[in-house]
Structure formats: structure tokens, C-alpha cells
Amino acid sequence: MKILVLNCGSSSIKYQLLDLNGEENLLAKGLLERIGINNSELIHKAAGKEKYKIVQDVPDHTVGINLILKVLTSKEYGVIHTVNEIQAVGHRVAHGGEHFKKSTLVDKKVKQGIEECIELAPLHNPANLKGIMSMEKLIPGIPQVAVFDTSFHQTMPAYSYLYGLPYSLYEKYKVRRYGFHGTSHKYVAQKACNILDLDFEKIKIVTCHLGNGASVAAIKNGKSLDTSMGFTPVDGLIMGTRCGSIDPGAILYLAKKEHLNLEGVNKLINKESGMVGISGISSDMRDLEDAAKKGNERAKLALDMFNFRVVKHIGAYSAAMGGIDLIVFTGGIGENSSFVRKEVCSKLGFIGVDFDYDKNEGLRGKDAIITKPDSKTKVMVITTNEELVIARDTYNIVNGKL
């Protein structure tokens, strides 16, 4: 069964076309980046063929998906003749609120549910929904499955997921911590355990999914105990354009001073803050690392703030779990930035990390252990593969096995 997996982020679309038939074969994959910026870049790789790169402006996600389908069916770089060969589509969906505790087949009600969650994830759910709608138009009647970023964290206990607000507001509006990147946190933690021959169900893990959106999770005995994102993906770490944890009192103060309405506050905390807000240069880690190397003080400050918060969360989660056995880095930054991993891990000797600076240096996009052999707490880089988990769920749901 040929399954197209779409992972529509705020400014990127990752895709994979997989053939699942007892075996799991990757036919093609690609990444479209810088959507809505300029000089968007699509890198497409079909199995057994050369990498193919297109640079052109892609103003929005619909145009992006069209471009991806064109490449998949192109004579030279494609792997299928027509889009009708695609039998199902799996979508990563950021926020399922309390509606969705597991992956589900998309119908009118599910689309409505995803739409209702837009205010909870204003950067992602609209992109996810656009992906679903575009596919409906392009291949009418195709089965589509939504895999939610929130479901892995549904194991969090109430003392972890509740905010210190009146309990009645949780009952009335379900305002609570949900967490995101669940598919990724679970996948990389399990994969690291497999590589290290550790029992996922019996150890204490902190997974760091560091990308444009970033979150850290505490996984104890195979279950998510806590995670840095909350009711929405704006909480926790400092991100590309999001502010992360902030005193709610500061928001009230700023709203008054700057005469911001709700929309203005939303824009401030989701789009104008984080690394771009601090540096005044870019939300992109590569740009910031380059600028810092050239001596830009604000870029350096943004990087210090980012790394400091990652360290703080790892420390806090070690305490919350009563210890730590394994730390996993993933996501665009976690997989590729030796600088961030070094800055974070060099501060973790106190929880048993004996960091291997040589193994870390220059390591990009590959699974590897980056601690010395006798390190009490192991650290790994694992390339995330949310697409594979989504394809598996899609296959199982469409075939009535889940």
C-alpha cells in the first residue's frame, strides 16, 4: 500500500512516500523549506535516484503540496506515474485537544475537531488542515488519517498536566498541559533504547526535540510524565519565533502598555518573539550561529538563552523522575547542531554525563552515541522519523487493524 505522509510545519513540509506491504519501503522523501519567506527550497530524493533540488518562491502550503505531487509524478525524478497510485495519506496534526487520544481516520467531524483546535495551535493546525483539504481536492475520496502530536503525552498525571488555575476552568474549558511532538519523542526514545539495548519501559529518559518548534519531554517507564510545551505549543523552551515560558503577568503588563488586543498578543508571543525577537536577525539557528561567530552580540545572547533553557529543563526533569539514564537529541537543531549539543551537554556532568566532544563535533543527521563508553547517563542523537510512525498508523487504521 502506497502511503503519502505529510508533515506540514509552520514554514516547512516534510514528506515521504512509503510502500507498506509487510515490508516498509521508502520510495521517496523530501523537504520543502522557507515557505512564505522567499527562495523556498525543495530537496527531493527518490530511492535509487539522484537528489533533486528546486528553488522557487512557494507562498503557501497548497502551492507547496502541488509542487511535491508534481515532483513525485515527474518522469525524471518521480516514483509513481499518477497521483492515483497513492492509496492513503497520513497527516501529522499538531493539536488534538482532548478530542483525540489516538490516530484517527479523517471525516467531516474529525476536520471540525481539528479546526476547533486551531486557536490552540495557530501556527500548525491551519497548515495541517490545508494539507488535508488540498489532498481531498487532488485525489477525491482518498482515505486520510490524522496522527496527533498530543496523544503520546496523554499519560501525564493530573499533578503534571494541570495548571494552578481554578479547577472549574479545567472542567469547563479543558485548559491543561497537552504537550506536542509526541510522535517524535516516543519514536526517538524507543529507537535509542533499541540501539543501546535498554528497556524503554524501565528507564528514565529526557528527549529533546529541538527544531523551529522545540520541546523537551520526561519519559519515565515508557510513559510521558511531563513535557515543556503546554496548552499550546508556545510554552517551554525559547523557539524560532515563539517566546516559550513567560510570566503571564508580563503579558498583562505589555498588553496594557502596547495597547495590544488578543490578536496582537497572539502575534507577539507566537511570531515576533523567541530567537528572532531576541536577535533581531533570524529565527533560523544556522543564521544565528553564523552571526554569533562573526561577533553579533544579540545572536550570542539568543543562543545562550536557548541553551540555558534546555539545560534547565533537563535538570528539572531529572529531579521530577528521580534520576536520569538517557538523553536524546533530535529535530533540525538537535540532529545537526554540534554547537547546541556541546553547550548543553558540557553542563550536565552533575547528572552523570561524560560527554564525548570528538564524537559530537561535526556530527549531523546521523544516529550516534555522543557520551564516553562509561558515561553513567548516555546521550544519543537520533534522527526523528515521525513520518514512519504516521505511515504505520495510517496503514493500520485504513486496514482496520488499529
Give contact residues for ligand AMP (rule: CB under 6 A).
9, 12, 211-212, 240, 284-286, 289, 331-333, 336-337, 364
Q: Which residue is nearest to ligand AMP (CB)?
A: 332
Query: CB of residue 200 vs ligand AMP: minimum separation in angstroms?
Result: 23
User: Cβ atoms within 10 A of the Cβ of 274, count?
Assistant: 26
DSSP annotation of 260? -
Nearest to 57 by CA among 69, 70, 45, 67: 67
Cα 364-186-169 angle, rounded to 5 deg:
120
Query: CB of residue 368 vs ligand AMP: minimum separation in angstroms?
Result: 15
| One-letter amino acid of 187 | Y
Alpha-carbon gap, residue 94 to 121, rounded angstroms:
7
28 vs 210, beta carbon nearer ligand AMP? 210
Query: CB of residue 366 vs ligand AMP: minimum separation in angstroms?
Result: 12
Query: CB of residue 138 vs ligand AMP: minimum separation in angstroms?
Result: 24
Give the DSSP H or E segment for 29. Answer: strand 23-33
Contacts of 136 (CB under 8 A, 6+ apart): 142, 144
35 vs 192, beta carbon nearer ligand AMP? 35
Q: Are 179 and 97 in contact (CB under 8 A)?
A: no
88 vs 189, beta carbon nearer ligand AMP? 189
Query: CB of residue 89 vs ligand AMP: minimum separation in angstroms?
Result: 21
How distant, in Å, are the alpha carbons of 23, 181, 206 from that of 391? Answer: 12, 16, 25
Alpha-carbon gap, residue 160 to 151, rounded angstroms:
15
33 vs 226, beta carbon nearer ligand AMP? 33
Nearest to 393 by CA among 141, 125, 116, 96: 96
Cell of 161: 498536566
- The angle that helices 338-345 and 297-321 make with each other, rounded to 10 degrees, is 50
Query: CB of residue 380 vs ligand AMP: minimum separation in angstroms?
Result: 17
Q: Are 39 and 57 in contact (CB under 8 A)?
A: yes
Query: CB of residue 284 vs ligand AMP: minimum separation in angstroms?
Result: 4
How distant, in Å, are the alpha carbons of 76, 92, 128, 152, 317 from that of 68? Answer: 14, 16, 15, 29, 40
210 vs 218, beta carbon nearer ligand AMP? 210
8 vs 129, beta carbon nearer ligand AMP? 8
Q: Is 374 a catalytic residue?
A: no
Cell of 190: 524507543
Q: Please say whether the dihedral angle defined by the alpha carbons of residues 80, 81, 87 and 91, taken in this order, is positive or negative.
A: positive
Alpha-carbon gap, residue 234 to 165, rounded angstroms:
18
Catalytic residue among 149, 325, 356, 393: 149
386 vs 393, beta carbon nearer ligand AMP? 386
Q: Give catalytic residues, as residue numbers.
A: 149
